[in-house]
Structure 1
């Protein structure tokens, strides 16, 4: 069996490592246009902020390790064309500039995603950067050394984390987003209000509800960002307004969503036989609404890549779907969410109820105790739980992993009230905050 893999970050690495173990007789070839693999892009802000000193720790695999497993590891090789009918690839060696053909019995597509790059006047000025891979992170660190005024465009997880990293490095930071609040996809307003207040306390300028119209420059370098609401000085601009699936090679050959995300079944199979896909190149099953969505997350990618290997020869292990579970630390606030927010559920026209619990996470007789706020979203008629969010200074984010399982299993808010959780005064109260949400629901 000849297996070809295109792309080797999270999903690709997981697929290759597992396929090499499961099919020792297979001939596996991976094509990767970069000279590194398995970079944890979620660590870019930690690297930029100096929390992570050695970037080697942000790689969990290497071309050398793959070669030891017998994988033909073709780094700095760009796949130019894929003919699925003929099961043939056209590849370019980026070092020698030579092109050649290869064929496959099984194709694994793990081409990932790429940052959205809007066509804004002045976008080609120096020091307007993207934030996705290892090269981006090194460039950001180098350019930030001499930058005084940093503008981050996009208030999703990556943008928000970079803002904190730059502020803690002594930069004057402005965060711009077209939405009227940060992290609006993941959290309701009462949560984002607290996060925004933390940024304001640290003198971060929030330019929310504004769209970038133009970049102005001086001597070829960016010097100012012009938005619908104002003008902001900038020596360095980081663009992180979202991602698009990197699937142009397969358009017209595979079924996709409108944005190019490849549609896969429960076993990671695409619409064509012997062609599998995983990670940010794909749409995923979103359990709260039972629909396919584009949710690019490293956690999804690793799971999906592992499943590709298991299902490569015959359907063996089904994909369980995702709740889009995620977490973030903003200064002293530990925040996590899963599933639908109240706002997103209402935007979809769902008839929902919510319950919010604010309580000290452990007994008041303990020497210290911090307040936590948990919100749960559930259907009004069936009372099935659709989403949850938590914020606290103590790290209670693992409780949202529990809520992810609750949503995946389609449990009700009433059942949540009586789930068996342990009690120990160091950690919680006799009625866990999750139980409290269930007990206090209407």
Structure 2
């Protein structure tokens, strides 16, 4: 069996590792435009901030390791032709321009994503940087040494983490985003306000509800101009989001409007013997029961693993995702899973929410800490569709529990009475997950009572 793999970051690496275990006789050809595999881009901010001193630690697999297992690794090769009807591809060697053809029995598309690059005048100026791969990370580190004024564009996870790293490196930092809040896709206002307050207290300039119109400078960027002002810049980092890297497969596969490849629960595309996984794909999103584009490394490694298991026969189905994620910024530990209240309403779901703010353990304990947790649930079914947590102590793992809750379609009543342990060092007799669900049940009871009074 000849297997061709296009792209080798998280999904590709997971697929290859599992194919080697499941099908030791398979012939595997891997085509990757970079000269490395398995780079954890989520570690770029840690590298920039000096938390990770050795960037080699941001890789968990190697070209040499795969080659020692018999995988033919075509590094610095770009696939330029993909004939799915004839099961044939051509790849260009980016070092010497040579083009070579290959045939396959099974094709695995794990081409990942690429940063969104809006057509902004001046984008080609020196020191306007993307933030995605190892080369980008090295360039950012190099150019940040002499930069005094750093502008980060995009207030998602990567942008926020970079702002923290640059501020701690004593840079003058401006964060620009078109939305009114940071992290608005992942958290509701009660959870982003404390982070914004911390940034402002530390001197970060939050230029929110602003759209970049141009970059100014003489060869090298000197300023970022928005619809509301101009900001000095020696270095600009673009973090405005990602798009699926699927241009090569246009008109050959079923996709979402943004180009994300549609796969079934066994990672099969609309073409026989063609599989796809990772950031190039749509994924089953349990809160809405719809396909969605959620580029996360966790989704990618699961999907890549599933490709290998289902390569010959459909034996292991994808259970869907909740888009669970976490973040640590300064003293703030926060995580979320599923839909925020704003996102749920935008998706057409009829939801209510409840917010619990409480000490995490009994008040008689000499030391304590406040936590904030929010639950989002459907009005009619009481099905839980989202949750968020924030505290200066680390309760982010609770969102892994809530991810399982959403995946299994649990209701507020079921969560309220779920068995969690009690020990005063760690929690209260009613665990905070129980408490927030009980609070939601109280809302439901109050609503029913009010409806009866109206009658």
**Which residue of structure 2 lines up, in the alignment, with residue 143 of structure 1?**
143
**Which residue of structure 1 lines up, in the alignment, with residue 450 of structure 2?**
none
Counterparts of 2:137 and 2:361, CA distance in 1? 40
Counterparts of 2:329 and 2:413, CA distance in 1? 32
Q: TM-score, normalised by structure 1?
A: 0.99
Shift of 1:11: 0.2
**Which residue of structure 1 lines up, in the alignment, with residue 29 of structure 2?**
29
Matches within 5 A, 1:339-350: 339-350=338-349
Q: Secondary structure of 2:46's partner?
A: helix
Query: Mean Cα displacement is larger for which, 389-398 or 86-95?
Result: 86-95
**Which residue of structure 1 lines up, in the alignment, with residue 17 of structure 2?**
17
**Which residue of structure 2 lines up, in the alignment, with residue 240 of structure 1?**
239
**Which residue of structure 1 lines up, in the alignment, with residue 55 of structure 2?**
55
Q: Deviations over 1:246-274 (max 9, x none)?
A: 00111011000111000000000000000
**Which residue of structure 1 lines up, in the alignment, with residue 226 of structure 2?**
227
Counterparts of 1:94 and 1:439, CA distance in 2? 59
Shift of 1:234: 0.3
- 1:134 equivalent in alignment to 2:134: yes
1:416, 1:437 within 8 Å by CA — same for their partners in 2? no
**Which residue of structure 1 lines up, in the alignment, with residue 102 of structure 2?**
102
C-alpha root-mean-square deviation of aligned residues, in Å?
A: 0.7
**Which residue of structure 1 lines up, in the alignment, with residue 166 of structure 2?**
166
Shift of 1:343: 0.9
**Which residue of structure 2 lines up, in the alignment, with residue 408 of structure 1?**
407
2:263, 2:269 within 8 Å by CA — same for their partners in 1? yes
- 1:210 equivalent in alignment to 2:216: no
**Which residue of structure 2 lines up, in the alignment, with residue 334 of structure 1?**
333
**Which residue of structure 2 lines up, in the alignment, with residue 298 of structure 1?**
297
Shift of 1:352: 1.1
Q: Secondary structure of 1:268's partner?
A: coil
- 1:86 equivalent in alignment to 2:82: no
1:372, 1:391 within 8 Å by CA — same for their partners in 2? yes
Counterparts of 1:440 and 1:341, CA distance in 2? 18
How many pairs were matched up?
441
Gaps of 5+ in 2: 444-455
Counterparts of 1:259 and 1:346, CA distance in 2? 22
Counterparts of 2:198 and 2:348, CA distance in 1? 32
Q: Secondary structure of 1:158's partner?
A: helix
Q: Deviations over 1:200-222 (max 9, x none)?
A: 1111000000000011103x110
Query: Mean Cα displacement is larger for which, 376-385 or 365-374?
Result: 365-374
Q: Secondary structure of 2:183's partner?
A: coil
- 1:5 equivalent in alignment to 2:5: yes
**Which residue of structure 2 lines up, in the alignment, with residue 68 of structure 1?**
68
Shift of 1:53: 0.5
2:288, 2:347 within 8 Å by CA — same for their partners in 1? no
**Which residue of structure 1 lines up, in the alignment, with residue 354 of structure 2?**
355
Counterparts of 1:159 and 1:322, CA distance in 2? 23
- 1:121 equivalent in alignment to 2:121: yes
Gaps of 5+ in 1: none
Shift of 1:96: 2.5
Shift of 1:73: 1.1
Counterparts of 1:350 and 1:29, CA distance in 2? 44
1:373, 1:391 within 8 Å by CA — same for their partners in 2? yes
Matches within 5 A, 1:245-260: 245-260=244-259
Q: Deviations over 1:15-34 (max 9, x none)?
A: 00000110011101111111
Counterparts of 1:423 and 1:184, CA distance in 2? 34
Q: Deviations over 1:158-217 (max 9, x none)?
A: 000000000000000000000011000000011111111111111100000000001110
Counterparts of 2:314 and 2:121, CA distance in 1? 49
Counterparts of 1:395 and 1:43, CA distance in 2? 19
1:111, 1:247 within 8 Å by CA — same for their partners in 2? yes
**Which residue of structure 2 lines up, in the alignment, with residue 429 of structure 1?**
428
Q: Secondary structure of 1:162's partner?
A: helix
Shift of 1:316: 0.7
Shift of 1:345: 1.3
Query: Mean Cα displacement is larger for which, 301-310 or 190-199?
Result: 190-199
Q: TM-score, normalised by structure 2?
A: 0.96
Shift of 1:374: 0.4
Segments ≥4 residues shifted beyond 6 Å? none
Shift of 1:350: 2.0
**Which residue of structure 2 lines up, in the alignment, with residue 157 of structure 1?**
157
Counterparts of 1:384 and 1:48, CA distance in 2? 41
Counterparts of 1:109 and 1:350, CA distance in 2? 33
